[in-house]
């Protein structure tokens, strides 16, 4: 319980003080109404005036809505507690002339209002509504908001003035042409400059962003050797001599390594090692209506062919789904999320635990775990599941963190509690002030040790982010656990919370505003401007020709096969 005051301090420091002032103002108005009622309750004429004054808080709420929400209804939920307070002031009106009726209604509305205000003080969102501004005005506002509230500004050494100057011409051109797609692309490129998995650009009303992506009938992947091979090929390119496994050497006349590096420059992959690995895959659909591809034919001689755009893109998506084990469609995505915390035996000896998010169906338990740093419910849930696997003969375990969407780090720490008999540092809730960082609440891993003798491999990949990234780090510290993957985790672990809605609600930009620190007092996990992973895998799963064929041609879960073999025979 000792962590609660610090966690609340962290939340209050992160909350938007402007809206807390609005909330305080509404509570003061309600207090004044209580005082006036006491003085005016025996005067019918003044009591009628008092009833009218009870509408002031809801009018204030309406003014707040006009200023901060109108034009972007997505923000309404974030301010709901504030608007409830305004509505609560109306409840005592019918009972104004009744002694006990007023006392009861006023007590109920006052109590609920205070509770709403208390909650709002710690959850007041950093939402910024610039929907009524022009393209240029809203972009400048976005830069100003992030310059003030982006929690990693100093850590990543971001010069927002320089970024504004760099992308302002593209925004101004989009405004001159009234081209929402160009505007969305300029904002997307701006966000990519931060190399932060928690900074995202959502083009809400832009169906056709200007993305140079085509369907040439193949995807490409870079092997550990540095060679780039074709995968997911279709009949049209097979007829030209390119098949799954064919080595590609040039793309539109450029060496494949150079072309891949250029292709991924403005692609949102924060960790450079991950971007290098995926550069060729990103390149697969970049060109014009046609592209010249040079490859090694069956006699190992270079040959150049022209590939034309075949229309609807699918090979890039197919390759990404196979490489990351991402769900193929909405139905599969729903099943993927439903599989969270699921377990099974992979064979007679090896157990399997899926952890694709650090969130439960019990929000109260999650919040208590967040505040105290001890998610007791999650720890007992994991204990029950691991005991059940032990009863089935489990001697080793694979924990699947691939594509983990994040949530509460305390759930990952609860799992670590069971896998070690030592104490380890988890994360610290921090406060950012004057460019410096201060930890106010330490959340630790307390070794329970029940399964400390278990041999474990934790699988991760480049889409394992946020609290998933944190769980990967905490597991990697344990001596009986190996963190493995073809790629490193995403490289982000701060708390999201900032959202800017830009001109005409065309684009939303989200960014982290809550500070999470490591044991040395610096941001936990997140990369710096050098883009070097601070949470790399301990064991790199090899990606050679045979592995690529399993992944992309045969659609086999090669990483899981590798993990089973490793934990049973090599660890």
DSSP result, 141-163: HHHHHHHHH-TTTTTTT--HHHH
340 in any annotated domain: yes
Residues 377 and 471 in one domain: yes
User: For residues 117 and 364, what is the distance between their CA atoms, to the nearest angstrom?
Assistant: 18
182 in any annotated domain: yes
What pLDDT does residue 496 have? 94
What pLDDT does residue 267 have? 82
User: For residues 133 and 143, what is the distance between their CA atoms, to the nearest angstrom?
Assistant: 14
Residues 469 and 402 in one domain: yes
User: For residues 515 and 16, what is the distance between their CA atoms, to the nearest angstrom?
Assistant: 14
2 in any annotated domain: no
509 in any annotated domain: no
Residues 435 and 529 in one domain: yes
Alpha-helical runs (H) found in 284-314: none
475 in any annotated domain: yes
What pLDDT does residue 327 have? 74
User: 515 with 151: CB under 8 angstroms?
Assistant: yes
Residues 387 and 426 in one domain: yes
136 in any annotated domain: no
User: 283 with 260: CB under 8 angstroms?
Assistant: yes
To 10 degrees, what angle do helices 256-263 and 272-283 make? 110
Residues 272 and 333 in one domain: no
> To the nearest 10°, the Cα dihedral for 440, 143, 260, 552?
60
What pLDDT does residue 553 have? 95
User: 358 with 406: CB under 8 angstroms?
Assistant: yes
What pLDDT does residue 208 have? 59
User: For residues 167 and 420, what is the distance between their CA atoms, to the nearest angstrom?
Assistant: 49
CA 540 to chain centre: 24
546 in any annotated domain: no
Among residues 152, 173, 202, which one ends one of the domains?
202
SS3 of the chain: helix, strand, coil, percent, to 5: 45, 20, 35
Q: Which tokens hold the place of 348?
A: 């007679």
Q: Which of 384, 383, 398 is nearest to 345 (CA)?
A: 398
| 334 three-state secondary structure | helix
Tokens 């899926």 belong to: 354
Residues 114 and 150 in one domain: no
Task: Name, in order, each residue with C-beta under 8 angstroms of 238's C-beta and a sequence gap of 6 or more.
Answer: none
User: 94 with 54: CB under 8 angstroms?
Assistant: no
User: For residues 169 and 144, what is the distance between their CA atoms, to the nearest angstrom?
Assistant: 17
Task: Name, in order, each residue with C-beta under 8 angstroms of 169's C-beta and a sequence gap of 6 or more.
Answer: none
DSSP class of 112: H
Among residues 312, 337, 358, which one ends one of the domains?
312
464 in any annotated domain: yes
Residues 347 and 419 in one domain: yes
Residues 195 and 232 in one domain: no
CATH number of the domain residue 307 falls in: 2.30.42.10
Say if residue 550 is exposed, middle or buried (CB neighbours under 10 Å; 0-12, 13-18, 19+). middle
Considering only CA atoms, give the Rg of the chain. 28
Tokens 């800017």 belong to: 500
Among residues 63, 97, 124, which one ends one of the domains?
124
Q: Which tokens hold the place of 132?
A: 């009524």
Q: 190 lies in which domain range? A: 143-202
pLDDT lower than 70: segments of the chain: 1, 207-212, 328-331, 571
What is the count of structural domains for the chain?
A: 4
Residues 408 and 535 in one domain: yes
Residues 557 and 412 in one domain: yes
Q: Which of 508, 507, 511 is nearest to 526 (CA)?
A: 511
User: For residues 310 and 217, what is the distance between their CA atoms, to the nearest angstrom?
Assistant: 7
| 172 three-state secondary structure | helix
What is the tens place of the pLDDT at every residue in 128-144? 999 999 999 999 999 99
CATH number of the domain residue 427 falls in: 3.90.226.10
User: 312 with 215: CB under 8 angstroms?
Assistant: yes
Please list the residues that pair with 14 across neighbouring strands.
none
Q: Which of 261, 223, 263 is nearest to 245 (CA)?
A: 223
Residues 34 and 99 in one domain: yes
Residues 167 and 304 in one domain: no
């Amino acid at each position: 319980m000792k962590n609660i005051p610090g966690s609340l301090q962290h939340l209050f420091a992160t909350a938007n003080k402007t809206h807390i002032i609005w909330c305080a103002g509404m509570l003061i108005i309600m207090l004044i109404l209580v005082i006036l009622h006491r003085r005016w309750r025996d005067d019918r004429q003044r009591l009628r005036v008092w009833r009218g004054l009870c509408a002031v808080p809801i009018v204030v709420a309406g003014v707040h809505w006009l200023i901060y929400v109108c034009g972007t209804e997505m923000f309404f939920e974030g301010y709901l507690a504030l608007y409830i307070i305004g509505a609560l002031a109306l409840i005592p009106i019918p009972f104004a002339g009744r002694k006990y009726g007023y006392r009861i209604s006023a007590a109920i509305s006052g109590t609920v209002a205070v509770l709403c205000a208390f909650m709002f003080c710690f959850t007041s969102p950093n939402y910024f509504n610039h929907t009524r501004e022009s393209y240029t005005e809203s972009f400048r506002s976005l830069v100003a908001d992030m310059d003030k509230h982006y929690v990693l500004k100093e850590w990543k050494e971001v010069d927002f003035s320089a970024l504004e100057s760099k992308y302002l011409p593209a925004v101004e051109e989009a405004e001159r042409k009234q081209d929402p797609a160009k505007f969305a692309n300029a904002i997307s490129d701006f966000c990519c400059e931060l190399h932060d998995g928690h900074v995202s650009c959502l083009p809400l009303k832009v169906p056709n962003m200007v993305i140079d992506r085509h369907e040439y009938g193949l995807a490409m992947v870079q092997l550990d050797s540095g060679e780039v091979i074709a995968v997911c090929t279709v009949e049209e390119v097979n007829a030209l001599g390119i098949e799954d496994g064919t080595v590609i050497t040039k793309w539109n006349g450029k060496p494949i390594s150079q072309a891949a590096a250029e292709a991924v420059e403005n692609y949102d992959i924060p960790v450079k090692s991950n971007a290098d690995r995926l550069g060729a895959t990103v390149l697969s659909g970049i060109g014009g209506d046609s592209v010249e591809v040079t490859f090694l034919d069956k006699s190992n001689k270079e040959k150049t062919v022209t590939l034309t755009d075949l229309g609807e893109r699918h090979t890039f998506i197919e390759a990404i789904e196979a490489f990351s084990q991402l769900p193929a469609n909405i139905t599969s995505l729903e099943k993927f999320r439903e599989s969270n915390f699921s377990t099974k035996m992979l064979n007679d000896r090896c157990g399997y635990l899926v952890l694709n998010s650090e969130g439960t169906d019990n929000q109260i338990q999650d919040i208590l775990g967040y505040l105290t740093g001890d998610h007791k419910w999650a720890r007992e849930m994991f204990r029950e599941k691991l005991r059940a696997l032990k009863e089935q003969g489990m001697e080793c375990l694979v924990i699947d963190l691939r594509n983990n969407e994040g949530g509460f780090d305390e759930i990952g720490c609860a799992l670590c509690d069971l896998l070690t008999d030592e104490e380890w540092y988890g994360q610290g809730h921090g406060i950012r002030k004057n460019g410096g960082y201060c930890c106010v609440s330490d959340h630790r891993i307390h070794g329970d040790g029940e399964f400390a003798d278990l041999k474990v491999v934790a699988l991760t990949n480049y889409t394992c982010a946020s609290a998933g990234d944190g769980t990967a780090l905490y597991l990697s510290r344990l001596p009986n656990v190996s963190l493995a993957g073809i790629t490193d985790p995403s490289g982000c672990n701060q708390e999201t919370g900032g959202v800017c809605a830009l001109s005409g609600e065309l684009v939303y930009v989200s960014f982290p505003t809550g500070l999470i620190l490591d044991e040395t007092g610096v941001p936990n996990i997140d990369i710096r401007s050098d883009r070097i992973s601070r949470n790399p895998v301990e064991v790199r799963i090899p990606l050679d020709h045979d592995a690529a064929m399993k992944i992309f041609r045969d659609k086999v879960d090669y990483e899981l096969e590798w993990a089973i073999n490793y934990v049973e025979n090599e660890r």
